Every structure is written in C-alpha cells, then in structure tokens.
Amino acid sequence: MADDPTKLPVTKSTEPNNVAERKSLGSLRRDIDRLFEDFHPFDWRLPSRILGFELPRISRDEWQVLPAMDLIEKEDAYEITAELPGLDEKNVEITLSNHTLTLKGEKHEEKEEQQKGHYLSERRYGAFQRNFRLPDGVDADNIDAAFAKGVLTVRLPKTAEAKKAEKTIAIKAA
C-alpha cells in the first residue's frame, strides 16, 4: 500500500502571492533606507562645549572632508592639533578675530603622466575651514603655531588669572 501524502494547511490570500511578498520586502527596504538616511556620525548628542571651546556643528556633507583635530587643555595652555597630510605651512592660514580662531587650508594636487600609448591626468582639490570660539582666559597676544610632518599644532597660552583660577578643595572626614 502506498502511503497517503500528508496534507499541509494552506491559507488563502485575496492577493496574488508575489504582491504580499513585495509589500513586506518593500517595507523592509524602506526601513533600511531610513536607517542609513538618518545616520549622522557627529550627531550622537555630543556636548556643545569641550574644555571651554564652542564646538562647531558639522553637517553630514562636511564630515568627510574635515581634518582630524584634537583639543587638549594643559596646565598652562590649550593646544589644538590638526592632521593635515599632504599640506605644508604655506597652504594653511590661521586668523583670530572677535575671540574666534579660524584654521583654513587648501590642497591642490595635480599629476600628469604621458607615455607611449596612454595619457594620465589626475587632479585633487580640497579646502577646509574650522572655527573655534576661544574660552575666557586665553592670552590672545601670545598664540603661536608650528607645523611639522603634516601636523599643525596651535598653542593658546592661558593668562595668569586663568592659571590661578583652579584650586584644590580639601576633603574633610565626616
């Protein structure tokens, strides 16, 4: 005797099979697209001030072309370091106006090769600008900058009053 095949329960839909599948896949695609569209790498609710500096808001379009920068507070000064590979000091400009320090830079790179049978021409251009609102207590007359091996270091010395502002509080046992 031949075994009777097992019957599986079947649900019927009023829509053709592929329409229901397309609706669920379309919904999944929209959710994934929305996830990537809403991703902002610099919008993780970062504080607007670090070490007394006003941090600039960076839009999603800008974040890829700005150089990496660090802000460090030392005992006697603030220090800004910027990684600027491929640039030298004549391609960088630093200005101070209305308590705002502005770092600007521009890179122009052109390469041409001409050999038998082919011609190669490449051009890369890019510019950046970063503005930093200086905190109180910076001695603006003695700001200095150095550039070495693709790293710009801007030193912002503190005033004598700003250095004295920090004090240690003694803790008493209760």
Across 66-81, b (16+ Cβ under 10 Å) vs e yields ebebeeeeeeebbebb
- The whole-chain average pLDDT of the chain stands at 77
- Read off the DSSP letter of residue 16: -
- Per-residue pLDDT tens over the stretch 79-106: 999 998 888 889 999 999 998 999 998 8
- Indicate the pairing of strand 69-73 with strand 144-148: unpaired
DSSP 153-172: EEEEEBPHHHHHT--PPPPP
- Per-residue pLDDT tens over the stretch 138-153: 999 999 999 998 899 9
List of domains in the chain: 65-164 (2.60.40.790)
- Please say if the pLDDT value at position 112 is more than 80: yes
In this prediction, residue 23 carries a pLDDT of 66
Of residues 26 and 23, more confidently modeled = 26
- Per-residue pLDDT tens over the stretch 27-73: 777 777 776 666 555 554 445 555 555 555 555 454 446 788 899 98
Residue 159: exposure state from Cβ atoms within 10 A (0-12, 13-18, ≥19):
middle
Q: What is the pTM of this model?
A: 0.56
Across 103-117, b (16+ Cβ under 10 Å) vs e yields bebebeeeeeeeeee
In this prediction, residue 8 carries a pLDDT of 62
